[in-house]
Structure 1
Amino acid sequence: MSKKVLSIVLVICMLLSAMSGCSKPAEQPAAQPAEQAAQEPAGMKDGTYTSTVNGMHGPLSVEVKISNNAIAEAKVTGHMETPGVGEVAVNQIPAAIVEKQSLAVDVVSGVTITSRAILSAAEECLVQAGADVAAIKVAGEKPAPGNIEETADVIIVGGGGAGLSAAVAATNNGASVILIEKTGFLGGNSIVAGGIYNAPDNELQDYAEEKRSDSLETLITSAVSETPVNDEHKALMEAVKKEYEEYLKTDKTLFDSPDWFALQTWNGGDKIANLRLVKILTSSAYDGLKWLESMGAEFSPIITHGGGSLYPRTHSSTSPNGTAYIKAFTDDLEGKDNFKKIMNCTGKSLITEGDKVIGVMAEGSDGSKYTLKANKGVILATGGFAGNVELRQEYCEGEKWPDLGPNVPTSNMPGVTGDGIFMARDAGAELIDMDQIQLLPYCNPQTGATYDIVMGIGSALFINKEGERFVREDGRRDEMSKAIIAQTDGVMYMLQSADGIPDPKTQKALGGQLLSYYLDNNIAGYVSGDTLEELAGKLNVPADALKKTVEDYNSYVDSGKADPFGRVSYSGKLENGPYYAYPRKPAVHHTMGGVRINENANALRADGTEIEGLYCAGEITGGIHGGNRLGGNAIVDFVIFGRIAGTSAANNK
């Protein structure tokens, strides 16, 4: 055989052999599923996988799509996390998982529980897909921290309501602004606030649920007839008395004025506050409301009597919690060339030059060091210290609040630890009213959250475990909190009815979740009953006592008179089922003490002189709320004094 023929034969044999190797004989039995899995290449199986875990406030569901051995998509498909806060992690964490093809992604600072819940659910999805989870959780090498120096006209420490309000005002006045925020989201504690804003609004108050009544008249006349403590107090009472006399000559539904608002705010804080600052707050409140509306914030057209506000002048945001305020500010700042934010960056100390504050030393979560110089001024807007157990025990624990330890929850976000207060003190600022702290009476007994309070609090009754009322429901927050602590197990039930909540499928909580969801999923202790007897059985309270309590209350509504507990505001009777109830207890909510400031939000020394270049706004300050902050005044505070601080810093006031 020639070499040429031999070569042809060899090629034909190789082709036949290859064809034979790529085919499967017809008689070969089908492989079993386990054998198929063993023969498949290592990696993830294509498909869409789901998992549900417990988040911060309830079930959280994640969906992960695998395609060609890669994470093609990850998303949160359902959750109950805090609007504006948990939502940051809901948006960022799944996107980071897809981008990095890894579970080794950073949690959102300040939103740790939600972040970890998302990662846990995503991990379960990847386990279902057959992934090598250990490998996917290996973190890559992170860049080394750096030393960063930047300069702007105004440096703002804190990205909550006061800091953002100041940023809007400063940029609107032509200043360049750098804002730093220690967490991974903007809004701070303001974003989880109840969302209520007090302001005299005579036009809307003509349509308020409240009308002229003997109880409201008694409230006003008693406040203007007491013995004055100083000349300022005397002048304010005389102004209110004159305004009220003029009001009685009209057919207006409800009396109100900035002076009456100021008198109630000052009296409600035990006359401890700086009355000049109080009058700035109340006289600017309506203008602040219109400023917010000009930036897109929306409010209900109905004036209510907000919890702890002491009077029906409360405007309620149409968005959950405090999200409308933060969105208004961030929308205004979006795209501004003279505004920059640095997230996950904590202010550590103030830079001084002689007696003047000229900047901030800060540190990023990655260890980077920041030197931020201010051409015009530094604004501290870091909030209070209700989340700092050690500080609240040191400054505020005493006769009024014997126990403020770790077993007392807080309604605050984790980042509210008092950082800026002591930065200011170290620069020479005086701290005032540091012993004044407020507990909020209607918080979740386990978490301290206000997120799950169902709207319509003004129509609720407070019931103890004996089925009886025990305190004025529209009174001062501190008095309500102390009364609850004195009840059996230190807890109460908030009782509402179909008269105020016609449909649980449309009635929302402060966080935006439906009442029906809480009832259907047995969340936050919500129960309902078609009758008071049925509800009493579910609460394990005496039915006869509960029925008598409600009947007595309804009789006070009919008469229009103040009831034995002093309640002056009635939204209506509780006559028709279903009836709803849920447990509540006090949680540490607001610190009224902090840095002493003047009318321009300048930080002051003990001798009353200004610290040049240093401004403070929001809960970091003292002197505005005294011994008890009225419900609905905190947002007014950060809007008004944040705006003042930003304007002052931009103009070197």
Structure 2
Amino acid sequence: MQETTGERLIGRRTFLRLGAAAGMTAFVLGSTGCSPMANTAPEKSASFTPGTYTAQAQGKQSLVTVEVTVGDDAIEAVDVTNHCESERIANAAIAAIATDIVELQSLAVDTVSGATLTSMAILSAVKDCIGQAGGDVAALEKAAGREKKDATEIIETEVAIVGAGAAGLTSAIALSEQGTDVVVMEKCGFIGGSMLVSGGRLQYPEAPLEFRQETTEPMRRLFAEVMERARALGVKEERVAFVEDQYEKWYAEGNTKTFDSDEYYAVLGAVGFGNPLAAETTVDAVAARHTCEWVTAHGVELEKPLLGIMGFSWPRSTHPVGKPAGEGYVDALEDYIEKSAFPELEILFSTSAQELVVESGKIVGVKGLCDDGTAYEVRASK
């Protein structure tokens, strides 16, 4: 559960860490939100019964509890005090919406891309609180929000990436490490994409010994069963015999930890999918191991020992320590980017890609539209 105990959730650290919304700039990663929008807040004319009011509304996964503090003629604070939404996604909505309501003295504020249901819950609860305070909800819904800008900005870079999910984010990091200028266009107000709602588990073939379990008799029986089923499936005998030889040599050398190899990973996959041809390549095993090694090198601490889970009976499964879901990877990678302070990396939040820029039959960039109405054309030289 994500809770707060009197601490404001719209402080500077929340803005910087989460890069929460359109209109916010100077994200600590060198990332930006959309261009700042003009503040068109009206002069204070509302009337309230001063005090702090509480209300709840249903978000995507849970009830969202909001406290609103008002003075005689102004909304002074909006705090989300309790929720069980996805932390990073919810915090993007909390930071953006709470700030806009207080700054603009208006309920005509935008929801946050990627966090629509949480945004709507916050707004609904705030309206309830305003009603409790005797405020005119309808008038505040009509009050001027941020003025939509109609500007186009051209950004020159070496590589343009659409999306700051798993593929986009890791690609941006790898390129930035090489000194390549990168601009990422992300439609949501936060990084991570679908990785934030993934199960977060990775398979780690041929993992270092400290990750492996001690071998048990049931595991020995399982290995023998896999080899028997592989032969029955039609996996080539030389592949099965090769893995059996690896297995015998592993324990003959005095190892007590679980046996594993890329070839065994392939054979086990063939048995699991019922496709003997899958046993002939170790590409998947190598890719899975390299993924684990890469995330570890970039700040992700993986759980030990490896476990077997449904569909992956051999103990190879792991996940980030403390946060078994995909959010653990996003947190660690964001910390890595912050510490690295890549000057070459810029992220345009709340900006949806609209179309590719094609010249002489070659893709040279991408056009995007920010939630504030700003149009971007990112031109890439590589």
Name the TM tier (shorter chain).
Answer: 0.7 to 0.9
Residue identity in the other structure for 1:297: V
Match of 2:111 in 1: 107
Q: Which of 280, 303, 306 does residue 306 from structure 2 map onto?
A: 303
State the one-letter code of the partner of 1:100.
L
Partner of 1:144 in structure 2? 149
In structure 2, relative to structure 1, the CA distance for the partners of 1:164 and 1:345 (3 Å cut) is same
Per-residue CA deviations over 1:103-130 (Å, capped at 9, x if unaligned) read 2111111111110001111111111111
Q: Distance in 1 between matches of 2:46 and 2:355?
A: 53
Assess, with a 3 A threshold, how the Cα gap between structure 1 residues 327 and 42 changes in structure 2: closer, same or farther: closer
**2:370 partner amino acid:** G
Query: Which whole-Å CA distance do the structure 2 matches of 1:273 and 1:333 have between them?
Result: 40
Aligned to 1:184: 189
* Separation of aligned partners in 1, 2:150 and 2:67: 34
Kindly indicate whether residue 91 of structure 2 is the aligned counterpart of residue 87 of structure 1. Answer: yes
Q: Is 1:160 the equivalent of 2:171?
A: no
* CA distance in structure 1 between the partners assigned to 2:324 and 2:165 by the alignment: 16
2:357 aligns to what? 351
Q: Which has the higher contact order (CA 8 A, sep 6+)?
A: 2
Q: Give the equivalent residue in structure 2 for 1:291.
A: 294
Query: In 1, distance between residues paired with 2:266 and 2:315?
Result: 14
- For the structure 1 residues 304 and 69, does the alpha-carbon distance in structure 2 shift closer, same or farther, using more than 3 Å as the test? same
Q: Percent identity?
A: 31
Residues 33-78 of structure 1 deviation map (CA, whole Å, 9 limit, x = unaligned): xxxxxxxx97112211101222211221101112342222111111
Aligned to 1:261: 265
> In the alignment, is residue 58 of structure 1 matched against residue 62 of structure 2?
yes
Tell me the equivalent position of 1:342.
Answer: 348
Q: How far is 1:265 from its partner? A: 3.8
| Kept after mapping to 1: 8 A contact 2:226/2:268 | no
Residue aligning to 2:12: none
For 1:74, give the aligned amino acid: V
Q: Which letter maps to 1:145?
A: D
Checking the alignment, whether the CA contact within 8 Å between 1:71 and 1:98 is kept in structure 2 is yes
Map 1:563-574 → 2, pairs under 5 A:
none
Deviation, structure 1 residue 251 = 4.4
Distance (whole Å) between structure 1 residues aligned to residue 119 and residue 299 of structure 2 = 29
Return the match for 2:213 from 201, 206, 209.
Answer: 206
Q: 1:320 to 1:61 in 2, by over 3 A?
A: farther
* Change in 2 beyond 3 A, CA 1:83/1:221: farther
CA RMSD of aligned residues (A): 2.9
Aligned 8 A contact 1:224 1:238 in 2: no
Runs of 5+ consecutive residues of structure 2 not aligned to the other structure: 1-44
Stretches of structure 1 that go unaligned for 5 or more consecutive residues are 1-40, 377-653
Does 1:98 pair with 2:105?
no
5 Å-filtered alignment, 1:242-281, equals 242-249=245-252, 250-265=254-269, 268-269=272-273, 271=275, 279-281=282-284
Q: How many residues align?
A: 331
Deviation at 1:225, TM superposition (A): 6.5
TM norm structure 2: 0.77
Listed one character per residue, the Cα deviations across residues 534-562 of structure 1 (whole Å, up to 9, x for unaligned) are: xxxxxxxxxxxxxxxxxxxxxxxxxxxxx
3-state DSSP of counterpart to 2:314: coil
Residues 126-156 of structure 1: CA distance to partner in whole angstroms, max 9, x if unpaired? 1111112122212336233322221211111
Aligned with 2:248: secondary structure?
helix
Equivalent residues in 2 for 1:351-430 (5 A)? 351-354=357-360, 356-376=362-382
Q: Which TM-score applies when normalising by structure 1?
A: 0.47
Matched position secondary structure for 2:332: helix
Q: What is the CA distance between 1:83 and its match in structure 2?
A: 2.9
Give the direction of change, closer, same or farther, for the CA distance of 1:260–1:208 in structure 2 (3 Å limit).
Answer: same
Residue 317 of structure 2 is aligned with which of 314, 317, 332? Answer: 314
Distance in structure 1 (CA, Å) of the matches to 2:125 and 2:215: 47
Task: Report the structure number with the largest CA radius of gyration.
Answer: 1
Is the alpha carbon distance of 1:157 and 1:141 closer, same or farther for their aligned partners in structure 2, counting shifts above 3 Å?
Answer: closer
In the other structure, the counterpart of 1:482 is none
Distance 2:360 2:225 in 1: 55
Equivalent residue number for residue 226 of structure 2: 219
